[in-house]
């Protein structure tokens, strides 16, 4: 830690981790709802829908907290100055947490906007917007005052502003369901395949540069190419969600072609990560942090690039759309790209924030490998269930519940893999909170 104000990042990370655990616990309940028959009396008071709103909103909340913490950690080192105001950073952390908790409790009592992933009621949306504005102001002022412009800062700020702007399209009530979904994807798709990719690329470039000691000029050159390709493919690529919503037919062409290219920048990220690691100028001090970086690049590519490509062409998407195939991809992509990115940042920053040069990574390794392998298994079992569903329900034309009958076994296996995932996650969280210096080898 070089600047005192970086310390605030710790509290963002500390807030994010328990929320991640809660997300996974609720996820196990969801898997159980597919595997067993939940009695009517429970369904009446705690429907699947409420649990799903919990699962997805917790995901977004902890990841945004992670990104913000990551940003507050990086900005001082990039700008070579303290954060503009740590008080604002505190205010904004508390505002976001209070809003998040209020929203979750509200869901239990049916206070919802009732749109998947954007369930937060409009009144709370405005608090979120205020929090976001405070955050952007704080980050922007730090950069403006320091005047040490870098491509990493620019990408980070650009991604964050884009992210906040897109959120606005999710707030209104739309009368027409077609228009509703059209702009719903401006939040969901343009977040994960646009704004979040920019934020991720910037954070990733920073950590990689610091770890490997590769020159800034080289890292930032690749950063430009990557974000250029991300936006080139990702913006028009939104069309892969407009095939079946009642939008004009040309979206089959635009969406199909552009989104089929979306894996290219992700693959490029894998290549340049490998390249930088090979050409490193620094010793590998904390191997687990490096493992996280490489794991993130590779699983980002598998989950988003490969799994995304598999169902992105209209000819295939016609049968897999809105099935467990989508779920398989959603889990692998979010985990590979954004959960691992955040955890990598935590493993990079937490030891420094605690003043540990070289940490004991034995527990952390177990956590990493348990999480990654159980998530891969979940991706496969969701995938098998999804292929069964696409074939039985959509190709053969048999009833929804008939297909669900065949899928039940696989949802059960997913639940078991989920228990292992929770084990790996708890190991990781405990490890991060209680990092110890490694014993010096003699």
CA proximity to 56, closest of 118, 110, 121: 118
Per the DSSP assignment, residues forming a β-bridge with 359 are: 437
Asked if 125 touches ligand HEM (CB under 6 A), the answer is: no
Rounded distance between C-alpha atoms, residue 77 and residue 327, angstroms: 38
What is the smallest separation between the CB atom of 373 and ligand HEM, expressed in angstroms?
20
User: CA–CA separation, 421 vs 24, rounded Å?
Assistant: 8
CB of 276 or CB of 329, closer to Fe ion: 329
Q: Are 71 and 92 in contact (CB under 8 A)?
A: no
Distance (Å, rounded) from C-alpha 168 to C-alpha 171? 6
- Contact of residue 394 among Fe ion, ligand HEM, other proteins, none (CB under 5-8 Å per partner type): other proteins
Tokens 């605030």 identify what position?
A: 8
Which of 70, 239, 263, 364 forms a contact with other proteins (CB under 8 A)?
Answer: 239
Residue 246 contacts which entry, ligand HEM, other proteins, Fe ion, none (Cβ below 5-8 A, type-dependent): other proteins
317 touches ligand HEM by CB under 6 A:
yes
d(CA 224, CA 169): 27
CB 177, min distance to Fe ion, A: 19
102 lines the binding site for other proteins (CB under 8 A): no
- The yes or no reply on residue 59 touching ligand HEM (CB under 6 A) is no
SS3 assignment, position 359: strand
Q: Does 304 engage in binding with ligand HEM (CB under 6 A)? A: yes
Q: Which residues pair with 437 in a beta bridge?
A: 359
C-beta of 76 vs 331, nearer to ligand HEM: 331
Which of helix, strand or coil describes residue 242? coil
Dihedral (C-alpha) 313, 316, 317, 320: value to the nearest 10 degrees? Answer: -150
Report how far apart the first and last C-alpha atoms of the chain are (Å, whole number): 27
Residues 363-402 that bind other proteins (CB under 8 A): 393-402
How does DSSP classify residue 39?
A: P
Cα 90–82–19 angle (5° rounding)?
A: 35
Q: Which stretch binds other proteins (CB under 8 A): 123-131, 201-209, 226-234, 360-368?
A: 226-234
43 vs 144 by CB, closer to other proteins? 43
Q: Residue 40 touches which of ligand HEM, other proteins, Fe ion, none (CB < 5 to 8 A by kind)?
A: other proteins
Interface with other proteins (CB under 8 A), residue total 83
The contact pattern for ligand HEM, residues 140-169, with x = CB under 6 A and - = no contact, is: ------------------------------
Decide: 222 and 204 in contact? Cβ < 8 Å: no
224 touching other proteins, by CB under 8 A: yes
d(CA 325, CA 334): 14
CB of 364 to other proteins, least distance (A): 34
Show contacts with other proteins in window 164-193 (CB under 8 A): 173, 175-179, 181-182, 184
DSSP 117: T
121: helix, strand or coil = coil
User: Using an 8 Å Cβ cutoff, are 214 and 251 in contact?
Assistant: no
To which residue do tokens 């809003």 refer? 99
Residue among 192, 199, 223, 302 that touches ligand HEM (CB under 6 A): 192
Of the pair 108, 357, the CB lying nearest other proteins is at 108
For other proteins, which residue of 321, 354, 363, 436 counts as binding (CB under 8 A)?
321
What is the C-alpha separation between 133 and 140, in angstroms, rounded?
10
Select the residue interacting with Fe ion from 52, 189, 300, 331 (CB under 5 A).
189
Question: Contact with ligand HEM (CB under 6 A): which of 31, 231, 337, 429?
Answer: 337
* 52/300 with CB nearer other proteins: 52
Q: In which residue are the tokens 């070289």 written?
A: 358
CA torsion angle 362 368 371 377 (round to 10): -110
Q: Find the part of the chain contacting Fe ion (CB under 5 A) among 190-198, 320-328, 397-405, 411-419.
A: 190-198
Which residues in 197-216 contact other proteins (CB under 8 A)? none
**Binding status of residue 330 toward ligand HEM by CB under 6 A:** yes
Ramachandran area for residue 437 (φ above 0: left; ψ -120 to 50: alpha; else beta)? beta
Q: Exposed, middle or buried by CB within 10 Å (0-12, 13-18, 19+), for 401? A: exposed
329 lies in the binding site for Fe ion (CB under 5 A): no
Binding-residue total with ligand HEM (CB under 6 A): 24
In the complex, what is the shortest distance from the CB of residue 361 to Fe ion, in angstroms, rounded to a whole number? Answer: 35
CA–CA distances in Å: residue 344 to residues 145, 353, 402 = 29, 14, 42
| Residue 52 binds Fe ion, judged by CB under 5 A | no
- Site of interaction with ligand HEM (CB under 6 A): 116, 188, 192-193, 240-241, 259, 262-263, 304-305, 308-309, 311-312, 317, 321-322, 326, 329-330, 333-334, 337
- Site of interaction with Fe ion (CB under 5 A): 189, 193
């Amino acid at each position: 830690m070089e600047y005192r104000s970086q310390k605030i990042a710790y509290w963002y990370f500390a807030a994010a981790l328990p929320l991640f655990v809660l997300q996974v616990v609720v996820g196990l309940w969801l898997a159980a709802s597919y595997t067993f028959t939940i009695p009517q009396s429970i369904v009446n008071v705690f429907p699947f829908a409420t649990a799903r709103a919990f699962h997805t909103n917790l995901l977004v909340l902890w990841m945004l907290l992670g990104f913000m913490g990551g940003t507050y950690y990086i900005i001082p080192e990039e700008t070579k100055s303290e954060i503009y105001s740590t008080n604002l950073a505190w205010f904004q952390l508390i505002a976001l947490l209070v809003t998040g908790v209020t929203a979750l409790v509200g869901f239990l009592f049916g206070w919802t906007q009732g749109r998947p992933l954007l369930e937060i009621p409009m009144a709370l949306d405005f608090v979120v917007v205020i929090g976001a504005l405070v955050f952007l102001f704080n980050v922007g002022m730090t950069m403006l005052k320091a005047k040490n412009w870098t491509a990493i800062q620019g990408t980070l700020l650009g991604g964050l502003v884009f992210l906040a702007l897109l959120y606005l399209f999710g707030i209104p009530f739309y009368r027409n369901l077609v228009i509703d979904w059209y702009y719903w994807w401006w939040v969901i798709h343009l977040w994960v395949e646009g704004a979040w990719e920019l934020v991720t690329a910037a954070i990733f470039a920073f950590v990689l540069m610091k770890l490997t000691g590769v020159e800034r000029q080289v890292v930032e050159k690749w950063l430009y190419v990557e974000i250029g390709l991300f936006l080139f493919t990702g913006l028009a690529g939104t069309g892969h969600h407009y095939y079946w919503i009642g939008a004009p037919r040309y979206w089959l062409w635009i969406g199909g072609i552009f989104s089929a290219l979306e894996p290219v920048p992700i693959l490029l990220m894998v290549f340049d990560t490998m390249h930088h690691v090979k050409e490193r100028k620094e010793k590998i001090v904390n191997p687990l942090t490096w493992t996280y970086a490489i794991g993130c690049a590779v699983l980002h590519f598998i989950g988003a690039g490969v799994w995304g490509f598999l169902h992105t062409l209209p000819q295939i998407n016609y049968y897999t759309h809105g099935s467990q195939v989508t779920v398989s991809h959603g889990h692998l992509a979010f985990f590979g790209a954004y959960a691992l990115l955040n955890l990598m940042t935590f493993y990079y920053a937490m030891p420094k924030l605690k003043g540990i040069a070289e940490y004991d990574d034995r527990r952390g390794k177990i956590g990493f490998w348990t999480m990654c392998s159980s998530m891969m298994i979940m991706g496969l079992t969701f995938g098998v269930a999804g292929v069964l569903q696409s074939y039985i329900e959509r190709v053969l034309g048999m009833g929804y519940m008939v297909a669900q009958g065949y899928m039940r076994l696989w949802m059960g296996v997913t639940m078991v893999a989920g228990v292992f995932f929770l084990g790996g996650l708890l190991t990781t969280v405990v490890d991060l909170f209680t990092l110890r210096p490694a014993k010096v080898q003699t």
